[in-house]
Amino acid sequence: MATMLVTTREKAKELSPKPEVDIQLIGKAEMRTLPNLMPEAASLAVMQLLQRLGLTVADLAVVKNHNPFAVNDAVFAKMTGYDWHKMNTTGCSLVWGHPQGPTLTRTSIEGLEEAVALAEATC
């Protein structure tokens, strides 16, 4: 299981071992498709969110997903132009099982940790 604490900026700085790191949720998207188009759903949601936020795929530092099927990554790469070699670079949440609730939390936490490590490595 995994837990994510959502709190105020002030409380996060107080609790964090790295108070200089500022993480903000700026948007979310959901997408449903027909069952035979399921591998496209994540890509469509990401493209919708990027458009709504005025961002592009080039703005993504980390891409992680809970990927039960390799075709999902292939479809994501084809639809977005994102290099699939850069996806799930520290692994996929499937190693923790397939229940989507806890693995989404774990994937989010791992993605944040990976983004912080990447930012620290480039500083």
pLDDT digits (tens, 9 = 90+) for 56-86: 999 998 998 877 778 888 999 999 999 999 9
pLDDT score at 103: 73
Q: Look up the CATH superfamily of 9-122.
A: Thiolase/Chalcone synthase (3.40.47.10)
Query: What's 20's DSSP letter?
Result: T
Supply the pTM of this predicted model: 0.78
How many CA within 13 A on the CB side of residue 86?
A: 14
Q: ∠ at Cα 97 (85, 101), nearest 5°?
A: 95
| Domain boundaries along the sequence of the chain | 9-122
How far is CA 116 from each of CA 11, 21, 44, 90, rounded to the nearest angstrom?
19, 8, 26, 13
Residue ranges of the chain with pLDDT lower than 70?
A: 1-2, 96-102
